[in-house]
Amino acid sequence: MSEQLDHAFWENRYRTTTTAHVQPNPHLTVEAAKLPPGRALDAGCGEGAEAVWLAAHGWRVTAVDFATTALDRARERADIRGPEVADRIDWRTEDLTEWIPPENSFDLVCSHYAHPATGAETLLRRLAPAVATGGTLLIVGHHPSDAHSAAHASGVHATAEGLAAELDPVRWEILVAENRSRTVTHGSHQIELRDAVLVARKNR
């Protein structure tokens, strides 16, 4: 039977597993490097690798997660980098199935494998209004063919086409809608990941 990836699951996961080695998501670092720094929202930020990377590159970041254990570690990660990074990040404890981000407020809204219980498409619909006109939405999810997440409930999966279909083509320009494979090193072994990647710009 697949696991329930609820709040208790994530708190327990962070209490029992260290992911301090985690590097910022490469889809984010590539896409954000093309943008002038502004205001960013990272939804489901976990231990903060992406939020810290963004802050270190000049962004003001709102980083949201419901796992306080993860947020505590994320704050530590930012503090190590000093106030010029740490002071740029607002860490918020919120449930992404309930929290409504402020509309038209961020130049970049990103989310990497957050997959709340309500699914990636519902999360996208909740996050899209938070992107300011001219701003960018980046969603990275686990593709259904991703072996690493295969044991999880189907709700954790997404396809680039499915995510793109959620956006009104009159208002959004799809810049990337691709299902991509990549290899990551976990300790002494390598894992093949299959990601659904959506990058879109809000035109109005």
Ligand X SMILES: C[S@@+](CC[C@H](N)C(=O)[O-])C[C@H]1O[C@@H](n2cnc3c(N)ncnc32)[C@H](O)[C@@H]1O
* Contact stretch for ligand X (CB under 6 A) within 89-97, 127-135, 157-165, 196-204: 89-97
Residue 96 touching ligand X (CB under 6 A): yes
Asked if residue 109 lies in contact with residue 41, where contact means CB atoms within 8 angstroms, the answer is yes
Only one of the segments 42-50, 125-133, 174-182, 194-202 lies at the binding site for ligand X (rule: CB under 6 A); that segment is: 42-50
Residue labelled with tokens 């799809």: 174
Binding of ligand X at residue 3 (CB under 6 A)? no
Q: How far apart are the C-alpha atoms of 112 and 138, rounded to whole Å?
A: 8
Q: Which of 97, 133 has the CB closer to ligand X? A: 97
Considering only the stretches 44-52, 131-139, 161-169, 196-204, report the one whose residues sit in contact with ligand X under the rule CB under 6 A.
Answer: 44-52
Query: Which of 40, 41, 45, 164 forms a contact with ligand X (CB under 6 A)?
Result: 45
101 binds ligand X (CB under 6 A): no
Under the binding rule (CB under 6 A), the answer on residue 46 touching ligand X is yes
With b for 16 or more beta-carbon neighbours within 10 A and e for fewer, the 87-103 pattern comes to ebbebeeeebeeeebee
**Residue in 16, 17, 80, 14 with CA at minimum distance from that of residue 44:** 14
Which tokens is 189 given? 């072994």
Measured at CB, which residue is nearest to ligand X? 46
CA distances from 139 to 12, 32, 33, 121 (A): 25, 12, 16, 10
Residue 115 φ then ψ, to 5°: 25, 65
To ligand X, the closest distance from the beta carbon of 66 in angstroms equals 4
Q: In this structure, are residues 104 and 81 in contact, taking their beta carbons and an 8 Å threshold? A: no
Residues 105-124 within binding reach of ligand X (CB under 6 A): 112-114, 116
Binding site for ligand X (CB under 6 A): 10, 22, 25, 44-46, 65-67, 70, 95-97, 112-114, 116
